[in-house]
A and B are shown apart, each in its own frame.
Chain A
């Protein structure tokens, strides 16, 4: 159980670093292309899924 929580914690943190990368690449106005918007959606889904898994594990 703990291993799963740790794994998902890193999964979420690493996905957020990918989000940070999108923000870095689009400074200063962050006008995201359609492709980048899709990338951000995929990142957010990854984070949500990881958080859901953690929540499930601690029930």
Chain B
């Protein structure tokens, strides 16, 4: 950084109610912020290096990964730099360029980009479209059959976004897993917005691979970090070591998150294990919030109804009408909310917006609803 560059310090969580859907599941508990402070220097995990990160005893990364695999109902787990890196590692390890991959229409863009990077031909399972945008597990059959017809082969991999980032729709992964088993195609479950928030059992869902996002859903910041969990049968391919550097897994280029992000993920783990037990309360809160939002009038929650996740998209003509006449146009909503100590909605958006209620109290959410009502009363 050039001399004189001064960054503003950030206090979104201390000063505002933050509704940003990317950030809610990644908010750190105090103990994790403390460990981040002491491990903030480069390569801080490597004081007692044993050759590669996932076998470390001090700090106990090896034991942690064994526990994580068990927590996810899988056989083995390894750290990655993020969920996207985990997805690419799988694609690169088990497919060949030109082969087909099936993924849902609601996928995260990184699933698509990872497949492009791996040289795969992408087939999408369509959603039901407006207003619910559901991905029906049965549609996977049609798309797999389409791949068979067009390529003469089964897809090399099937990917499901367990909960999508746009609508917060939860798909029945068990059904998709069963379909994959019937076709004997490997199944990758992307749990970026589910594991760490809600209980996950990869085995029960017949998943060959489960990918997770530490900074999205495992209360782990201090950089980016992900988890790649697999069933034993894929270990030789996905965790294959370098021929020359025998302890270094090729697909993660030897070692991945070698710093404070790994330690934060570990420190947050007991907190995460506890919070997933309360997932039903989060769903109940999200449903209550959705109904309160719709009762404002001219607001519609898109996606699953009743909703099954804290991440939600609302269509909001009530605010868009105000924007058309307001001197600040679409920016009025962000500014009015900021004045009321609420952040997290994208500045300028009024036709629709996304938010998450995760980890917020009913009192805080009541205040958010009252603030939206107050803005409507004042400006419409």
Contacts and interface: CB of A to CB of B under 8 A. Distances in A.
Interface of A: 10, 13-14, 17-18, 20-21, 23-24, 27-29
Classify chain B's interface size.
Answer: 10 to 19
Given A27-B13, A27-B364, A28-B15, 9 more contacts: A17-B30, A21-B29, A21-B30, A23-B15, A24-B13, A27-B17, A27-B341, A28-B16, A28-B364
A24 B14 contact: yes
Contacts, number: 37
Contact of B16 (A13, A17, A20, A27): A27
Interface centre among A14, A17, A23, A27 (most CB of B within 10 A): A27
19 contacts: A10-B37, A10-B38, A17-B30, A18-B30, A20-B33, A21-B29, A21-B30, A23-B14, A23-B15, A24-B13, A24-B27, A27-B14, A27-B15, A28-B15, A28-B16, A28-B17, A28-B342, A28-B364, A29-B341
Given A27-B14, A27-B15, A28-B16, A13 B30 contact: no
Nearest to A24: B13
B44 to A, nearest CB: 14
A31 to B, nearest CB: 10
Interface centre among A18, A21, A29 (most CB of B within 10 A): A21
A17 B342 contact: no
Interface centre among B13, B340, B367 (most CB of A within 10 A): B13
Nearest to A25: B361
Nearest to A27: B17
B37 A28 contact: no
A14 B267 CA distance: 14
A20 B14 CA distance: 7
The 7 nearest A-B residue pairs measured at CB: A28-B341, A21-B30, A23-B14, A14-B34, A17-B33, A24-B13, A17-B30
B10 to A, nearest CB: 12
Contacts of B38: 10
A24 to B, nearest CB: 5
A40 B17 CA distance: 21
Contacts of B367: 28
Contacts of A29: 341
Contacts of A17: 30, 33-34, 37
A48 B97 CA distance: 62
Interface in B1-45: 13-17, 27, 29-30, 33-34, 37-38
A28 B338 CA distance: 11
A28 B341 CA distance: 6
A33 B17 CA distance: 19
Given A18-B30, A20-B30, A27-B364, A13 B13 contact: no
Nearest to B18: A27
B371 to A, nearest CB: 9
A17 B27 CA distance: 14
Contacts of B17: 27-28
A20 B28 CA distance: 11
B83 to A, nearest CB: 25
A27 B344 CA distance: 14
Nearest to A10: B38
A13 B364 contact: no
B29 to A, nearest CB: 8
B317 to A, nearest CB: 27
